[in-house]
């Protein structure tokens, strides 16, 4: 089975026009596909509306008990079901999921961190067979960034990590491509030049690109996730934006492809 896993971040989730554009593109892509989405700013705004101050560290949310209730409502509720409904409007039979559904993603509360991230989850296991069952019914799993520990505790889990672990779990039996969609055309050789996209990166080149300051900031964990996925069987990883993804439907080479 050939499977494409797509991860969209907050900049797409927060922008109704971009989200609709992505859903239109996704609906045209043939074959087996899985969508993992982030949370965007909706949870932060909802926290403030409820008098809960959002707490972040290096772009990661610190999830205390009150914040956990809000992010579950926002991510697994409004955002997830809105995406599912928009896919249904495109005749795409989608099903919204969290890691707690059918014990699909088992995680544990983050340990041994210099920062206490609260109810942040690190993944232990993904049930690939559950996803296979959905895909064989020509349905699209739409996964919110919420997992559980198997003991009744929900956990807020990084969406990039979820996409990565889903791709790796499926890659043991299938050919899997993983797409990270964000605001750039790809990895840029010059961050001031939007046209300086590096079309192809091999694993052996990653550390050198980090040392040279070409891969920086939030791109570093994305690339490190990509490296781990490729080392664990994922066929290829593409980093790009929505406009470039649309071009890929015409079989154009777009964005940055990371290869083993």
pLDDT (tens, 9 = 90+) of the chain, 260 residues, equals 999 999 998 889 999 999 999 999 999 999 999 999 998 788 889 999 999 988 887 667 889 999 999 999 999 999 999 999 999 999 999 999 999 999 999 999 998 778 888 999 999 999 999 999 999 999 999 999 999 999 999 999 999 999 999 999 999 999 999 999 988 898 898 888 888 999 999 989 998 998 888 888 778 888 888 889 999 999 989 999 998 888 776 666 789 999 88
Q: Are 119 and 156 in contact (CB under 8 A)?
A: yes
Q: Model-level pTM?
A: 0.93
Give the containing element (helix H, strand E) for 253.
Answer: none
Identify the pLDDT of residue 72: 97
**Chain CA centroid to CA 100, Å:** 17
| Separation in Å, CA 234 to CA 144, 218, 258 | 21, 22, 10
Phi, psi of 121 (to 5 degrees): -110, 135
pLDDT value of residue 251: 61
233 burial class (0-12, 13-18, 19+ CB within 10 angstroms)?
Answer: middle
The beta strands (E) that lie in the chain are given as 2-8, 32-37, 56-57, 60-61, 94-97, 105-109, 121-126, 140-143, 146-148, 154-156, 175-181, 200-202, 236-240, 256-259
The pLDDT of residue 221 is 80
* Contact indicator for 39, 10 with CB cutoff of 8 Å: yes
The full set of domains in the chain, from first to last, is: 2-259 (3.40.1160.10)
Contact 258, 236 (CB under 8 A): yes
């Amino acid at each position: 089975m050939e499977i494409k896993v797509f991860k969209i971040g907050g900049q797409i989730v927060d922008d109704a026009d971009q989200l609709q554009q992505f859903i239109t593109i996704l609906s045209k892509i043939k074959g087996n596909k899985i969508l993992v989405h982030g949370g965007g700013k909706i949870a932060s705004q909802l926290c403030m509306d409820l008098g809960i101050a959002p707490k972040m560290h290096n772009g990661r949310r610190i999830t205390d008990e009150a914040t956990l209730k809000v992010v579950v409502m926002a991510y697994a509720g409004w955002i997830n079901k809105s995406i599912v409904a928009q896919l249904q409007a495109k005749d795409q039979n989608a099903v919204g999921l969290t890691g707690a559904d059918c014990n699909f993603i088992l995680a544990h509360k983050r340990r041994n961190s210099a920062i206490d991230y609260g109810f942040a989850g690190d993944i232990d296991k993904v049930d690939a067979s559950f996803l296979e069952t959905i895909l064989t019914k020509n349905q699209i799993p739409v996964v919110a960034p919420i997992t559980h520990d198997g003991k009744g505790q929900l956990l807020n889990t990084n969406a990039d990590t979820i996409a990565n672990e889903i791709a790796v779990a499926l890659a043991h039996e299938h050919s899997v491509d993983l797409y990270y969609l964000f605001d750039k055309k790809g990895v840029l050789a010059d961050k001031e030049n939007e046209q300086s996209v590096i079309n192809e990166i091999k694993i052996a080149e990653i550390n050198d690109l980090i040392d040279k300051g070409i891969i920086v900031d939030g791109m570093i964990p994305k690339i490190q996730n990509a490296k781990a996925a490729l080392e664990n069987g994922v066929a290829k990883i593409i980093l790009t934006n929505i406009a470039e993804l649309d071009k890929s439907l015409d079989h154009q080479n777009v964005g940055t492809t990371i290869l083993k």
